[in-house]
Structure 1
Amino acid sequence: MMKLKTPSKKRVLRELEKREPKLVETGKKTLILHGTKTSNVLNAVLAEIYHLKRGSALKYSKKNENVRPFESGGETSLEFFSLKTDCGLFVLGTHSKKRPNNLVIGRFYDHHIYDLVEVGVENFKSIESFSYDKKLTPHMGSKPFFAFIGEGFDSNEELKHLKEVLLDLFRGEVITNLNLAGLDRVYLCTAVSSNKVFFTQCAIQLKKSGTKVPRIELVEVGPSMDFIVRRHRQPDDRLKNQAMKTAPDSTKKKVKNVVNDQIRGKRARIFIPDQKVGNVALPHKAKGVKRERREAKMKDEETREPAGKKQKDNGN
């Protein structure tokens, strides 16, 4: 039998507890790595994504030849990196003649590849190419807005899938309370065509409007690029069902035989046991019967005592 080794150091135990499955995820780390061959444009794109995800990303600078997510057997190295770094997302940059400036964005579940989206990068502009007031630079820990413009994000399956992956990639840590001052940027995603999306980042600038509500202006701070959707792979149904499971609400008490119907509303079934009124025997020692017998006995004693005395006096 295999022996289960428990960590002897507290530091190792705390690290293992962090990697345990959680009912509610608060954030995902992103793994950024290079493929067999990359270009200068891809190197700059990966560096910009790492800059936007600072604090929740891990970047590998070496080239990886055996990483091919869309090919059978090519995802083994990625799953090993996910197990090693405990990352839930990855961004892979590859460059070839058939697919130049190729970017693969994917998600993991239980250290296995969940889904994949492959896009090509065109018209890339880095943050350094934009001129703006440096006070508008997004601060560390701020939360972004997302604006998806275009009907393709609701009707096209490829763009819908890209929307889900981008939201999961840039949303950062999940929090419950937020200061409005921390909402200082917005990501704009515009569907230009059925497979082309314009992506950029803008800073939010508040101007005076003469009222209590300020006037909002957007200042493009970069980076900006065009995404050409090439290939995508939806998650497997079995794996998707496992990933979508939610923990039952322990605080909510389950009510039996109650159904919520959208048309009829809340319905319930009531079970009434058989009363068996005719077959139920009355108890022998009822309180009312005892009281009646006691009162009748007392009356008999009162009536009998005077009669006995009279008969005794007449005999004498």
Structure 2
Amino acid sequence: MLQVKTPKSHKARRELEKRAPKLVETGKKTLILHGTKTSSVLNAILTEIFHLKKGSAIKYSRKNENIKPFESGGETDLEYFSQKTDCSIFVYGSHSKKRPENLVIGRTYDHHIYDLVEVGVQNFKSMESFMCDKKLSPRVGSKPFIAFVGEGFETVEELKHLKEVLIDLLHGEVVENLNLAGLDHAYVCSAVSSNKVFLTHCALRMKRSGTIVPRMELVEVGPSMDLVVRRHRLPNESLRKEAMKTSREKPKKKEKNVVQDAVQGKYGKIYIPDQKLGDMALPNKAKGVKRERREAKVKNEGNEPASKKKKEGSG
């Protein structure tokens, strides 16, 4: 069991909050580990995966005897390394007579094993075996295209699971805006059979097309390999529901007196209160009022009846 430590300072509390599961995920870091026994081919594969994930990967070269992902009790060291390095994806390489050139790719949630896919590597070709211009090599931090070719990725359960894991492993940092000049390489995964996938890495070469949009060409730069699915373990249903939680968007406020019409579009009604012109303040109200009072007084004196004037005179 992992020891639970409570933070004693604000800095430690902030670091723990960064490592906690998030509703909106950021980029995932990859942990690369070696088993008890590995071959030269497997060492080259793990090195090139680390090179492709440079900047978002941590590689341990020491052999690990106690890591057995598919066995009960053999996941403790994996969870410890995941918590220590804050990595949510791991690639574990091992080699044996029963399972030669074996790779285990897995994901963690809250530093606990989420799911696992075990594949065997065949027909591996390293980057050095491809003769191409060095200028075409992908830059660090650039975003890749990921193409999945074949119906097996939609119908076969093992390949569907492998597709999910490969997307998380290869897609890189999560970004909102993307510059097309930064898309300089692509991963192409082709389903050869119900349990075999051909994975290759290509660079994108832009050529003139006579229009604004350039013509794109794929140049294989390696590595390339065949992945044969051996074992896989899907996540627990309760853990899957917890990990798949999404942030609820705030409901939009209802707009009053607004109507949407297919012909006129969006239009609304505006309420205008009664305008009391008599109570409006005029700029020269004092002078105008005095003049109006004098004129009204003179007019009223001229319009008075004669009988009323005589009575006032006699009194």
With normalisation by structure 1, the TM-score equals: 0.76
Q: Deviation of residue 20 (structure 1)?
A: 2.9
- Which secondary structure does the structure 1 equivalent of 2:60 belong to? strand
Q: Any runs of at least 4 consecutive aligned residues in structure 1 with deviations exceeding 6 A, and if so which?
A: none
Instruction: Report the Cα distance in structure 1 between the residues aligned to 2:49 and 2:124, rounded to whole angstroms.
Output: 12
Q: Deviation of residue 250 (structure 1)?
A: 3.1
Aligned to 1:6, which of 5, 8, 26?
8
Q: Deviation of residue 248 (structure 1)?
A: 1.9
In the alignment, is residue 232 of structure 1 matched against residue 252 of structure 2? no
Q: CA separation of 1:97/1:254 partners in 2, compared to 1, >3 Å: closer, same or farther?
A: farther
Amino acid at match of 2:95: H
Amino acid at match of 1:26: T
Q: Deviations over 1:121-155 (max 9, x none)?
A: 01111111111111111111110001111110111
Q: Deviation of residue 15 (structure 1)?
A: 3.0
Q: Deviation of residue 226 (structure 1)?
A: 0.5
In the alignment, is residue 65 of structure 1 matched against residue 65 of structure 2? yes
Give the corresponding residue for 1:216.
216
Identity %: 72
Instruction: Report the Cα distance in structure 2 between the residues aligned to 1:228 and 1:248, rounded to whole angstroms.
Output: 39
Q: Deviations over 1:93-128 (max 9, x none)?
A: 010000000000000001110000000001111111
Q: Deviation of residue 61 (structure 1)?
A: 0.5
Give the corresponding residue for 1:197.
197
Amino acid at match of 1:46: L
Q: CA separation of 1:179/1:101 partners in 2, compared to 1, >3 Å: closer, same or farther?
A: same
Q: CA separation of 1:87/1:3 partners in 2, compared to 1, >3 Å: closer, same or farther?
A: closer
Q: CA separation of 1:254/1:168 partners in 2, compared to 1, >3 Å: closer, same or farther?
A: farther
Give the corresponding residue for 1:46.
46
Q: Unaligned regions of 5+ residues in structure 1, if any? A: 256-316
- Which secondary structure does the structure 2 equivalent of 1:184 belong to? strand
- Which secondary structure does the structure 1 equivalent of 2:222 belong to? coil
Instruction: Report the Cα distance in structure 1 between the residues aligned to 2:192 and 2:21, rounded to whole angstroms.
Output: 39
Q: CA separation of 1:219/1:108 partners in 2, compared to 1, >3 Å: closer, same or farther?
A: same
Aligned-CA RMSD value: 1.9
Amino acid at match of 1:137: S
Instruction: Report the Cα distance in structure 2 between the residues aligned to 1:254 and 1:31, rounded to whole angstroms.
Output: 48
Q: Deviations over 1:208-263 (max 9, x none)?
A: 222333221110000000101100000000100100111222354599xxxxxxxx
- Which secondary structure does the structure 2 equivalent of 1:22 belong to? coil
**Preserved CA contact (<8 Å) 2:23 2:245:** no
Paired residues for 1:99-248 under 5 Å: 99-248=99-248
Instruction: Report the Cα distance in structure 1 between the residues aligned to 2:126 and 2:254, rounded to whole angstroms.
Output: 54
Q: Unaligned regions of 5+ residues in structure 2, if any? A: 256-315
Instruction: Report the Cα distance in structure 2 between the residues aligned to 1:162 and 1:130, rounded to whole angstroms.
Output: 26
- The total of aligned residue pairs comes to 252
